C-alpha cells in the first residue's frame, strides 16, 4: 500500500507522555531512542494528556531542534469534543457545527504548531464528530492549511464509513486511524479495513497490544492467547510482542501500528516484525486463541 505521508513502519504514540512524569531530558532520550531504531513518526492529539502532551514533546524537542528533520509529526483535531482544560475555547466548542469548521480546525493546527515548536505538521488526523459536519467547508479548510504549508497530509480517526468516503472524495486522505489487536478485531469484520483497501488508505493502528492487556490480563481468553503467542515466538525465535505486531502488519492494507510504550525495547521488538514469516496458519492460530468463548 502507498504511504504518502512517509510514516515509519512503526509509530511512537505519545498519548501517555504526561503520565510518565519525565523531565524534558528523559523525554528527549525517548525521542532519540525511537529515532535510532527507525521509528521516526510520532503520534499526538490536541487533547492528549489533558491538552499537555504536545507541549511536553515540544519542550523536549527544543533541547535538540535538529531532530525535527528526522521525524514526522502527527496530530489530531478532535472535532466536537470539549475538554475541561479549554472551556469555551473555539478549538473544543462545537455550538454550531456548520459555521465553526474552519475556526476549529485552524485553532487546533495553530495550537499544535506552537506546542510542538514546529512550522508544519506532517499529518493531521480529523477525529470523527458526533454532530453534523459541513464536509465541503472541512475539505476547503484542509486545502487552505496545505496551501499555507502548515499541514502536508491529512487522515481520519474514527470517522464513520460514510464520513470517510465523503471527505476522501473532496481531499485525498493518507490514512485512517482505529483500533486493532488480537483481542479487538471489530475492524476486520465491520468493513473498516475493507474500506481502507478500497480507498487505498494505509491504516494507523492504535492499541495493537490491547493497551498491554495481552500480557497482563488474567482472564481465560488472554491466557489462551498468551500461550499461543509464546509458542509461536519460540518457534520463530522472536518475542511475543514481535509476533503480535507481525499479526497486525500482515493484513493486506499494510497497517502501521502505534506503540504507546515508554520502553524502547518494545519499539525494537515491534520493528523486528517487518518481514517476519508469519503464515496463514499462524495468523489464524492467533485469532482462534483470542476468540470469545462460545455462548452457553
- Mean pLDDT over 128-141 rounds to 74
**Mean per-residue pLDDT over the chain, rounded:** 89
pLDDT in tens, 31-61: 999 999 999 999 998 877 677 899 999 999 9
Q: Give domain status of residue 131, yes or no.
A: yes
CA distance 187 to 54: 28
Give 135's pLDDT tier (boundaries 50, 70, 90). Answer: confident
CATH code of residue 119:
3.20.20.100
DSSP code of residue 184: B
Q: Give domain status of residue 202, yes or no.
A: no
pLDDT in tens, 254-294: 999 999 999 999 999 999 999 898 999 999 999 999 987 64
Q: Give domain status of residue 57, yes or no.
A: yes
Q: Give domain status of residue 226, yes or no.
A: no
Instruction: Flag whether pLDDT at 66 surpasses 70.
Output: yes
Q: Which three cell numbers stand for residue 220?
A: 481465560
Q: Is 146 a catalytic residue?
A: no
CA distance 30 to 263: 8
Is the Cα torsion angle 25, 30, 36, 39 positive or negative in sign? negative
Percent of the chain with pLDDT over 70: 88
Q: Give domain status of residue 160, yes or no.
A: yes
Give 89's pLDDT tier (boundaries 50, 70, 90). Answer: low
Instruction: Flag whether pLDDT at 92 surpasses 50.
Output: no
Number of domains into which the chain is organized: 1
Q: Give domain status of residue 58, yes or no.
A: yes
Q: Give domain status of residue 260, yes or no.
A: no
Q: Give domain status of residue 142, yes or no.
A: yes
Instruction: Flag whether pLDDT at 188 surpasses 60.
Output: yes
Residue, of 295 and 160, whose pLDDT is higher: 160
Q: Residue 287: CB partners within 8 Å, gap ≥ 6?
A: 182, 185
Task: Map grid coordinates 464513520 to a residue.
Answer: 160
- Mean pLDDT over 204-221 rounds to 90
Give 118's pLDDT tier (boundaries 50, 70, 90). Answer: very high
Q: Which of 15, 30, 42, 48 is catalytic?
A: 48
pLDDT in tens, 213-258: 888 888 888 899 999 999 999 999 999 999 999 999 999 999 999 9
Give 136's pLDDT tier (boundaries 50, 70, 90). Answer: confident
User: Can you give the pLDDT at residue 134?
Assistant: 74
- Can you give the residue range of the structural domain that contains 141? 11-174
Radius of gyration of the chain (CA): 19
Amino acid at each position: 500500500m502507498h504511504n504518502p505521508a512517509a510514516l515509519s513502519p512503526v509509530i511512537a504514540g505519545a498519548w501517555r507522555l504526561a503520565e510518565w512524569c519525565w523531565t524534558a531530558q528523559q523525554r528527549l532520550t525517548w525521542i532519540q531512542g525511537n529515532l535510532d531504531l527507525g521509528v521516526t513518526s510520532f503520534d499526538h492529539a490536541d487533547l492528549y494528556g489533558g491538552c499537555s502532551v504536545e507541549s511536553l514533546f515540544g519542550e523536549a524537542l527544543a533541547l535538540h531542534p535538529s531532530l525535527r528533520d528526522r521525524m514526522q509529526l502527527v496530530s489530531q483535531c478532535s472535532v466536537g469534543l470539549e475538554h475541561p482544560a479549554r472551556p469555551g475555547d473555539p478549538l473544543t466548542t462545537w455550538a454550531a457545527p456548520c459555521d465553526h469548521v474552519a475556526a476549529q480546525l485552524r485553532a487546533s493546527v495553530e495550537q499544535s504548531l506552537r506546542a510542538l515548536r514546529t512550522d508544519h505538521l506532517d499529518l493531521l488526523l480529523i477525529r470523527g464528530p458526533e454532530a453534523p459536519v459541513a464536509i465541503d467547508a472541512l475539505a476547503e479548510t484542509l486545502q487552505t492549511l496545505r496551501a499555507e504549508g502548515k499541514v502536508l497530509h491529512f487522515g481520519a480517526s474514527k470517522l464513520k464509513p460514510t464520513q470517510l468516503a465523503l471527505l476522501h472524495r473532496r481531499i485525498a486522505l493518507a490514512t485512517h486511524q482505529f483500533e486493532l489487536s488480537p483481542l479487538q478485531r471489530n475492524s476486520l469484520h465491520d468493513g473498516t479495513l475493507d474500506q481502507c483497501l478500497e480507498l487505498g488508505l494505509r491504516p494507523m493502528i492504535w492499541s495493537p497490544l490491547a493497551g498491554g492487556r495481552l500480557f497482563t490480563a488474567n482472564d481465560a481468553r488472554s491466557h489462551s492467547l498468551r500461550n499461543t503467542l509464546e509458542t509461536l515466538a519460540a518457534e520463530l525465535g522472536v518475542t511475543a510482542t514481535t509476533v503480535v505486531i507481525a499479526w497486525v502488519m500482515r493484513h493486506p492494507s499494510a497497517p502501521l501500528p502505534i506503540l504507546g510504550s515508554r520502553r524502547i525495547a518494545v519499539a525494537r521488538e515491534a520493528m523486528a516484525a517487518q518481514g517476519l514469516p508469519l503464515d496463514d496458519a499462524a495468523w489464524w492460530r492467533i485469532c482462534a486463541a483470542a476468540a470469545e468463548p462460545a455462548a452457553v
